[in-house]
């Protein structure tokens, strides 16, 4: 037989989980800046290292958006995985590049210039100096009415930190709308299939 459980109107039921608090004002501003600006420097107010980062970027012809915060806590919800981000922090193309040490490393290796071009230009061709395949890629795109930015590198290693997952990128490499499209084979494939023009239009490289 079943035993009836007496009803108790005064029984305390578990409280529903409270919704997460909305992002703080500074964190939300950092999120917006990272999403909207090609290059963002986030640092403490009056920090000399932030000034060094800004001047280095300006020396390369970049005018970064600079955002001042009280501390690293404002970046916890901006960076995937949260935490572990030192200030000043540099974001390129919506992704965390790193701090001053990382910025200097990619600047010396040439990776920084590739990152900047990919973040700022609708179409970028990255290849070795004097490579005939890079010339073929450039002429194909120009034939469609696109004037790609062309960046020359010493080898594939300079693309390792630009492409999500790193490594495995053959030269010449074509970036459209900030993302890797592929090499010459991939470019020819989407051109023949008729996919290339819509891809270029979506990236803002073609208007007609």
Q: Are residues 127 and 152 in the same domain?
A: yes
20-37 pLDDT tens trace: 554 557 778 888 888 888
In this predicted structure, the answer to whether residue 75 has a pLDDT above a threshold of 90 is: no
Task: State the average pLDDT for the chain.
Answer: 81
The full length of the chain comes to: 208
In this predicted structure, the answer to whether residue 61 has a pLDDT above a threshold of 50 is: yes
In the chain, pLDDT over 70 holds for what percent of residues? 81
Model pTM greater than 0.85?
Answer: no
Q: Are residues 104 and 179 in the same domain?
A: no
pLDDT at 196: 93
Q: Give the end of a domain, one of 60, 80, 109.
A: 109
- CA-to-CA dists, residue 117 to 7, 11, 166, angstroms: 69, 64, 17
pLDDT band at 7 (very low <50, low <70, confident <90, very high): low
How many CA atoms, within 13 angstroms, populate the side-chain half-sphere of residue 149? 18
Query: In 3D, which of 192, 157, 162 has the Cα closest to residue 174?
Result: 162
The secondary structure of the chain, three-state, reads CCCCCCCCCCCCCCCCCCCCCCCCHHHHHHHHHHHHCCEEEEEECCCHHHHHHHHHHHHCCCCCEEEEECCHHHHCCCCCCCCCCCCCEEEECCEEEECHHHHHHHHHHCHHHHHHHHHHCCEEEEEECCCHHHHHHHHHHHHCCCCCEEEEECCHHHHCCCCCCCCCCCCCEEEECCEEEECHHHHHHHHHHCCHHHHHHHCCCCCC
- CA-to-CA dists, residue 146 to 111, 196, 197, angstroms: 24, 11, 10
Q: Which of 4-8, 60-64, 105-109, 112-116 has the highest mean pLDDT?
A: 60-64
Q: Give the end of a domain, one of 85, 109, 133.
A: 109
Residue 4 lies in a domain: no
pLDDT band at 103 (very low <50, low <70, confident <90, very high): confident
- Report how many domains make up the chain: 2
Q: Which two tokens stand for residue 112?
A: 């920084």
Q: Are residues 98 and 42 in the same domain?
A: yes
Q: Are 88 and 50 in contact (CB under 8 A)?
A: yes
pLDDT at 145: 93
Q: Are residues 85 and 151 in the same domain?
A: no
pLDDT at 26: 74
Q: Are residues 43 and 87 in the same domain?
A: yes
Region 44-65: mean pLDDT is: 88
Q: Are residues 43 and 103 in the same domain?
A: yes
pLDDT at 193: 94
Q: Give the end of a domain, one of 91, 109, 127.
A: 109
**CATH code: domain of residue 53:** 3.40.30.10
In this predicted structure, the answer to whether residue 59 has a pLDDT above a threshold of 50 is: yes
Region 194-206: mean pLDDT is: 91
Provide the domain limits for residue 139.
119-202
Region 131-157: mean pLDDT is: 88
In this predicted structure, the answer to whether residue 13 has a pLDDT above a threshold of 70 is: no
């Amino acid at each position: 037989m079943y035993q009836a459980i007496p009803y108790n109107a005064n029984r305390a039921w578990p409280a529903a989980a409270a919704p997460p608090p909305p992002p703080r004002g500074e964190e939300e501003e950092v999120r917006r800046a990272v999403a909207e600006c090609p290059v963002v420097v986030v640092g403490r107010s009056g920090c000399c290292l932030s000034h060094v980062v800004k001047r280095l970027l300006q020396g390369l012809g970049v005018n970064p958006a600079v955002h001042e915060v009280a501390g690293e806590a404002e970046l916890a919800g901006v960076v995937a995985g949260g935490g572990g981000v030192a200030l000043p922090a540099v974001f390129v193309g919506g992704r965390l590049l790193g701090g001053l040490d990382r910025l200097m490393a990619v600047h010396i290796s040439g990776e920084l210039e590739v990152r900047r071009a990919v973040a700022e230009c609708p179409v970028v061709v990255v290849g070795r100096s004097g490579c005939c395949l890079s010339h073929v890629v450039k002429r194909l795109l120009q034939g469609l009415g696109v004037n790609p930015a062309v960046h020359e590198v010493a080898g594939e290693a300079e693309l390792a930190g630009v492409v999500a997952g790193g490594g495995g990128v053959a030269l010449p490499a074509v970036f459209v709308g900030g993302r890797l499209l592929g090499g010459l084979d991939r470019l020819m494939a989407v051109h023949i299939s008729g996919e290339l023009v819509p891809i270029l239009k979506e990236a803002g490289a073609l208007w007609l």
